[in-house]
Structure 1
Amino acid sequence: MAHFNRESNNAILLAGILALVVGVGVARFVFTSLLPAMLEDSINIAFAGVLASINYFGYLSGSVFSIFIKDIYTKVKYFRLGLVLCVICSFVLGITENDIVWVIARFLAGFGAAMALVVGSAIVMLKLQSTNKTKAMGIHFSGLGFSIVITDLVMRGVFSYGGDWKDAWLILAILGGFFSCYSAYILRFEKQPTNDVIKHKFDKSLFSPMVIILILAYFTEGVGMVVQSTFLPDIVNSLDGLSGYGGWVWLVAGIAGIPSCIIWMRLAHRFGSINIMMIAMLLQIIGILIPIFSNNIIMNLISGILFGATFIGLVALFMNFGGQLSKKNPVFIMGALTAAYGVGQIIAPLYSVALIEQFQTYNHALYLTAFIVACGILLLTYAKFNLKEATLCMQ
């Protein structure tokens, strides 16, 4: 069967997408879908912010760790470990409400998510037999959109049959286990003699001015995505007349994200990655600011669409551009980029919770977030007009 052929591009891309559903959906984004129900039943907004930051701290730790994984077989080993952690830690949230256990589980799930996204994406990039990996990786990163949609629909199914958020965690963990088995089977390499194993050394020369600016800009994008990816349903539910609509806005964000990677990557191939990154970040700022100025459901659905279409596309754009700059060792710069992204994700929920508790509204957190993303656009503008690498043409 073609879907079980480890060398088939279709199988490789399907395995990569399912790995993202497990690592990014089950281990991370479904927390956003379930947050309103958990806020009503078990936790407060402050602890929710702590759990989000802890998860992103685990993600940051995994991202930094991934930079130092030298050979491809070790990458595969930690990729599989990551999938196992994502499944087990999600299962744990369905069987206990112990705060300490939750903190540990969210940290380990974050580490596992980094293995699934950073290391998994590098494995996919290396395994693909394609002359145009830019477009192929756009298909792979569509898994970020699927990760929101699939986990959100499963959650809705559980709720519609009388289950609660605990049942949702358990069902999602079981589903994640099945997906993980397929991804682990496909995303591997045939063993070579020890002397033939390619090892990637830590190469400081890869940190060119362009890469450093890319890392700083991706930090601002980490801030830009995490406020909405953590609180979007609750932000919408808090608006006058929109209570109960937050989950639909989140689902729309996921649906918008599915084709966005392919579209953004094709635009980048035609008009240049830096230009398209700047446009996507500008659109993201508009989406961030909409809930401040409007409680109209259509406008807030547009906010969700802009969020899903831009943050998922930007992950693909930054990761692919970084992978191209790093040439033979994509996990190296991918890991450095994701580490910076992770720092932004740790900081943003903490300042958001502080501002929410101080002013009893999300507005100030959204203003600050939009400002930080705007700083990222300025960094990319500098790179565009001052650095030759910014004109790199990715084939």
Structure 2
Amino acid sequence: MDSTFVRVRRAPILESLAGALILAVGMGFGRFSFTGMYPIMVKEAVMTVSVGSLAASANYAGYLLGALAMSWVGERHSARLSKIAIAGTVVCLAALAFHPSVSMLVATRFVAGVMSAVSLVAASVWLLHVMGHHHGAPILYAGVGAGIAISAEFVVFGQAGGLGSSTLWLLLAAASAALCALAWPKIAPPSAPYEAPAHHAQHARRPGSTIAPWLLVAMYGLAGFGYIVTATYLPLLIKTALPQVNAVQVWAAFGLAAVPSCFAWHALHERLGSRAAIVANLVLQAIGVVLPALAHTPLAFFGSAVLVGGTFVGTVTIIMPAAKHVAHAVRFNLMATLTAAYGLGQIVGPLLSDRLVAHTHSFDQPLVAAGIALVAAVSLCAVRRSA
């Protein structure tokens, strides 16, 4: 039998699902469950809004550091690092159940940020490079939205059962540990690399479709700045403006919208190419970001959750495979550099938001600034075309 046929006959679907579980734990639970828990912990006086913002900033800083560290790590370590990242995430979630001091809270969220970045880069490198499964991207990145939605629903049901924040964190840790157990057996180097049929990469060869590496980095950094205000403060904004609305349920809609969007954006990427797909993605995301600044209504907040949730992981689904096609043009780890740029944007976003809110006592200006950053990222598509 032809050895080439043996190599291409089975796409690693189970491995793709394992990758999705890595991101569900490392990103959905480890990074974004704090967003849903934020207003609950403030209400219980476990922490103040300012301490929560400090913890969020520490998480973003950890994310940046983790991404930078991953730029020095070879592909052969990606499977092992994926396991370390999700195990570390479970520990960080459990640690928050014991009402840590401010310094311990900040340190825990910092470590959780490192674990999130490691999980994203390691899982991406493992599935897209080591396993060679480019078409696993939508399944992989759908894990982020699934993790957000699942963790949010655990919080909602826990609250309905009268559980406090301490017990909720233990519940989240237990749920993430269960997901780790499901993923663990499949996280390993391949016995033989999967090689997609040639026509699967046609979008990368379409004239003018690919984007130069440094343009990808700049666009991705602006995208990190653009979505983070919504992703950090949406439940808190809803709780403040519309106390009658269940903010965590709206946050769950944010995650649910992300799951199918990965497949939609991947299909659009395949059909139109990287450049057109990322323009459409970031324009819709910008509209979603600024909606709550235009109207403080339930529909505006829900629309923001669906539009931003339905595009921010789509950005990753487009950018990471696009980076794979131009990674040969640079000598550094492009995926890790992209993740670091995204992390830097996420640090700048809340810092600028704090300054603007201090002057205006409103999140309208931070949301508008985030929308402008996304439009700026779109404009980079017209700067120049890669060869």
Please say whether Structure 1 and Structure 2 have the same fold, judged by a TM-score greater than 0.5. Answer: yes
How far 1:97 moved relative to its partner? 2.7
Q: State the one-letter code of the partner of 1:49.
A: S
Q: Quick one: which of 60, 64, 67 aligns to 2:64?
A: 60
Partner Cα separation in structure 1 for residue 144 and residue 164 of structure 2: 25
Secondary structure of the structure 1 residue equivalent to 2:98: coil
**CA distance in 1 between partners of 2:386 and 2:340 (Å):** 25
Distance 1:79 1:228 in 2: 27
Unaligned runs of 5+ in 2: 1-9, 193-209
Deviation at 1:136, TM superposition (A): 2.3
- Report how many aligned residue pairs link the two structures: 360
Pair 1:318 & 2:322 matched? no
Correspondence for 1:138: 138
C-alpha spacing 1:83/1:329, structure 2 compared with 1 (3 Å): farther
Deviation at 1:379, TM superposition (A): 1.1
- Counterpart in 2 of 1:182? 182
1:34 paired residue among 29, 34, 37: 37
Deviations 1:59-104 (A, max 9, x none): 11111111111241x2222222211211111110011231111111
Q: 1:338: which partner in 2? A: 339
The alpha-carbon deviation at position 190 of structure 1 amounts to 6.3
Aligned-partner residue type, residue 67 of structure 1:
S
Conservation of the 8 A alpha-carbon contact between 2:150 and 2:252: no
Q: Does 1:306 align with 2:307?
A: yes
State the one-letter code of the partner of 1:345.
Q
Give yes or no for the alignment of 1:247 onto 2:248.
Answer: yes
CA contact (8 A) 2:131 2:189 kept: no
Residue in structure 2 matched with residue 278 of structure 1 by the alignment: 279
Q: Which amino acid aligns with 2:363?
A: Y
Offset of residue 320 of structure 1: 1.6
Match of 1:23 among 22, 26, 49: 26
1:118 aligns with 2:116: no
Q: CA–CA distance in 1 between the matches of 2:340 and 2:262? A: 21
Structure 1 gap segments, 5+ residues each = 1-6, 193-207, 390-395
Q: Could you tell me which residue of structure 2 aligns to residue 100 of structure 1?
A: 103
Structure 1 match to 2:367: 366
Q: Look up the SS of the partner of 2:326 in the other structure.
A: helix
Are 2:165 and 1:161 aligned? no
Whether contact under 8 Å (2:31, 2:112) holds in the other structure is: yes
RMSD: 2.3
Q: Aligned runs of 1:52-91 on 2, under 5 Å?
A: 52-72=56-76, 74-91=77-94
Change (3 A) 1:8 1:91: farther
Shift of 1:377: 1.1
Summarize the Cα distance change of 1:284–1:265 in structure 2 as closer, same or farther, 3 Å threshold.
Answer: same
TM-score (norm 2): 0.87
Give the CA deviation at 1:129. 6.4
Aligned in 2, Cα 1:183/1:292: closer, same or farther, shift over 3 Å? Answer: same
Q: Which residue of 1 aligns with 2:235?
A: 233
**Residue 248 of structure 1: how far off its partner (Å):** 2.6
User: Contact 1:46–1:353 at 8 Å: present in 2 too?
Assistant: no
- Cα contact 2:212–2:326 (8 A) shared by 1: no
Q: Report the AA paired with residue 41 of structure 2.
A: M
2:249 & 2:157 partners in 1: Cα distance?
Answer: 14
Percent identical across equivalent pairs?
A: 26
CA deviations 1:244-272 (Å, max 9, x no partner) are 34223211111111100110111011111
Q: TM-score, normalised by structure 1?
A: 0.86
Q: Which amino acid aligns with 1:184?
A: W
2:156/2:248 contact within 8 Å kept: no
Q: Is the 8 A contact 2:22 2:82 kept in 1?
A: no
The match for 1:43 is: 47
Match of 1:142, SS state, is helix
> Given that residues 83 and 115 in structure 1 are in contact (C-alpha distance below 8 angstroms), is that contact kept between their aligned partners in structure 2?
no
CA spacing shift, 1:67–1:101, aligned 2, 3 Å: same
What is the match of residue 220 of structure 2? 218
Aligned to 2:385: 387
Distance in structure 2 (CA, Å) of the matches to 1:168 and 1:331: 41
How far is the alpha carbon of 1:48 from its aligned partner? 1.6
Instruction: Tell me: CA distance 1:387–1:317, structure 2 relative to 1, closer, same or farther (3 Å).
Output: same
Whole-Å separation in 1 of the counterparts to 2:332 and 2:263: 21
1:21 Cα deviation after fit: 1.1
| 2:201 aligned residue | none
Range moving further from structure 2, 264-273 or 345-354: 345-354
1:223 alignment partner, SS class: helix
Q: Distance in 1 between matches of 2:159 and 2:38?
A: 14
Structure-2 change in CA distance of 1:331 and 1:43 (3 Å) = farther
Any idea what the Cα deviations from partners look like across 1:181-238, whole Å, max 9, x if unmatched?
332321112699xxxxxxxxxxxxxxx9811111011001101121111101112233
Partner deviation per Cα, 1:313-364 (whole Å, 9 max, x = no partner): 0111111211222259999211010000000111111221222233221111
Change in 2 beyond 3 A, CA 1:125/1:330: farther
Q: Work out whether residues 236 and 243 of structure 1, in 8 Å CA contact, stay in contact via their aligned partners in 2.
A: no
Q: How far is 1:300 from its partner?
A: 2.3
1:66–1:173 Cα change, 3 Å: same
